[in-house]
Chains A and B, each alone.
Chain A
Amino acid sequence: MPIADRLTARKAIIERVRGLGRKVVAVLPFHYPRALLRAYRLHPIEVWGPPNVPRDKGSQHFQAYTCDIVLKATSFLLRGGMDPVDAILVPHTCDALQGMASVTADFLKPRQPVLTLYLPRGCRDSDRAFLIAELRRLAGCCAEISGHKPNEADWAEAFAAEEAADRALASLYQRRPRLALSDRDFYTAVRSREFLTAEDFGELAASLPEGDPPADGVGLMLSGIVAEPLELFDRINEMGAHVVADDLACGYRRVYPPAAESDPFARIAAQLLACPPDPTRGSPIEQRVAALRSRMRESGAQGLLIYDVKFCEPELFDIPLLRKHLAAAGLPVLHVEFEMGMTVSRQVLTRIEAFVETLQ
């Protein structure tokens, strides 16, 4: 049975977590403190577009060169898609998302409060201190929404649950070569973390069968924010290739390592700052290149496919240097941009197919 058929629908999850006494927060991509939300009795449901929503209503509020994630999420909000949630959290992943937070709060004025989380662009002590202060500020907003202030036991329970789910995600990636899952099923499972509870995600991850992976051929590593639509994976498989690793914001970039700090805010900050390097956090190019090289080598990836949502500035800034350094290391790179929709364009597929042919 395809993994998608095993997943509980978001509406049913919202009802269930409400039954557990939690309120629901729509969260835009992509770094945010899950344990904090849980300790404050909030449940995140992430919004990455969605791809099937028209851009029209979002386009009325942003420049033509704004990415589809922001345009479609705004359309989704204005079409009532976020009506069931109690708050909207927009992390400062990029200027476009920061702009969305401002436009939404100041002009669109939904009934739900719009929360922000300003993420630092570095890992210095000052960045850590800034992030801790931001998390404390966000916690104050969360307390107002849920009416709950966590005690020590709440924090302990939240860390135990969310860190177990983080470990389950890390384990999924470690077990990837042994999982009898298509690329589409693997990424459906990974991305179910965007809306499932930590417990449900852990259970799903543990239940995935091991055996011979169905896909074979040229191994690709995928980089970017999000690989949409999931049909992309089927098309890649048809070309005689498969995805052996990723550097996706909706995937491996959120494999957060555990931290040991006793203060909950310091602990969350340490986790958020220790995840794999990515351009939205201002990671130095040397760190990104080293991480990509190492993961490509370990996974046996023969080429890097950078699959970017059109107009995604943080990703685009790094492309020339990534191409240069990886080419110097003998690692082929293809960069394609896509517009988020329900199908992958023929032009994009032709480029990927040609890239696969050069690697065969």
Chain B
Amino acid sequence: MSKPEVVAIGTDAGSTTCKLVAVGQGGEVLGSRLEATQPHIELQVGELLGQLRSELGVDGPVPCVATGYGRKLVKDATRSVTEITCHARGVFRDLGHGGTLVDIGGQDSKVIRLGNNGKPVDFMMNDKCAAGTGRFLEYTSARLGVPIDELGRRALSTDREEPITSTCTVFAESEIISLLARGVALEAILRGLHRALVGRIVAMVHNVGLTPPLMLSGGVAHNEAVRALIEEATGERVLLPREPQLMGAYGAALLGTEGKSAA
């Protein structure tokens, strides 16, 4: 049986991770790459692209759509599109309906209201401050010495919660140090930190207007405490696509298939 043909490749050059997704004629994912973003993003994307093309046997030119904060640096891109449109397209394709999409990335977070056709109707971004983004969790996980993929589980392991009142990541760190010095349990601090992050996200959700269902994409979607606390704050169940972290690159790849049958 011959290998399925790669019709387009999407590249999401994010601030924390760099993602690539290759899709076939029907929009199915044929291959992907994900690794931590390096300083020379243009070289990194070029290398990952070469690996993916080689793995999937892509010899000729295929459309390559770039998204993410480094999208303008991707030399092989045939087109660049913002993360908002790409995440919307990817999640709509994966889950099959409109609603309210929350994308929490490493450097910014977005709330996107999707129409029934999958197009963004309205959106809001927090990109001025690390609070409310994955960076907030990364920063505090490093300070507390808890691996990032354990943060959510540890936060949910207790009913106690220590409120974090600082809205700034840097000041929150000082507050954590004070709480630890007072002997407050680590899990209670973690739960409070997640609550603070979710508070910012939910405020954005209400600003855009919550149209159910609520969906979550981006790397932070893997954090079970974020999901649980968003559900608690909004009263809505949170739906996840199959690969939340790849949705930007997947959406970019789908946009690359426009004019062909997949999109």
Contacts and interface: CB of A to CB of B under 8 A. Distances in A.
Contact of A357 (B81, B121, B127, B128): B81
19 contacts: A332-B122, A346-B69, A347-B125, A347-B127, A350-B69, A350-B82, A350-B127, A351-B125, A354-B82, A354-B84, A354-B85, A354-B123, A354-B125, A357-B82, A357-B84, A357-B120, A358-B120, A358-B122, A358-B123
Interface of B: 69, 81-85, 108, 119-123, 125, 127-128
Contacts of B120: 354, 357-358
A353 interface: yes
Shortest 3 CB-CB distances between A and B: which pairs? Answer: A354-B84, A354-B82, A347-B127
Nearest to B107: A347
Grouping DSSP codes into helix (H, G, I), strand (E, B) and loop, the A interface class, with mixed when no group exceeds half, is: helix
Interface in A323-337: 327, 332
A357 B79 CA distance: 13
A358 B112 CA distance: 11
Given A347-B127, A357-B85, 14 more contacts: A332-B122, A347-B108, A350-B82, A350-B83, A350-B125, A351-B125, A353-B82, A354-B82, A354-B85, A354-B123, A357-B82, A358-B85, A358-B121, A358-B122
Interface in A299-351: 327, 332, 346-347, 350-351
Contacts, number: 33
A358 B123 CA distance: 10
Contacts of B125: 347, 350-351, 354
Nearest to A357: B85
Interface in A211-256: none
Contacts of B81: 357
A334 B20 CA distance: 30
Interface centre among A327, A332, A351 (most CB of B within 10 A): A351
A138 B240 CA distance: 64
Contacts of B108: 347
Contacts of B121: 358
A347 B82 contact: no
Nearest to B125: A351
B127 to A, nearest CB: 4
A353 B79 CA distance: 13
A15 to B, nearest CB: 43
Contacts of A353: 82
A110 B220 CA distance: 54
Contacts of B128: 347
Contacts of B123: 354, 358
Contacts of B119: 358
Contacts of A332: 122
B190 to A, nearest CB: 29
B135 to A, nearest CB: 14
A351 B69 CA distance: 12
A201 B128 CA distance: 40
Nearest to A327: B122
A347 B127 CA distance: 7
Contacts of A357: 81-82, 84-85, 120
Contacts of A358: 84-85, 119-123
B206 to A, nearest CB: 12
A312 to B, nearest CB: 16
Nearest to B108: A347
A358 B110 CA distance: 15
Contacts of A351: 125
A350 to B, nearest CB: 6
A327 B208 CA distance: 11
Interface string A111-122: 000000000000
A48 to B, nearest CB: 23
Nearest to A332: B122
Contacts of B127: 347, 350
B42 to A, nearest CB: 16
A353 B85 CA distance: 10
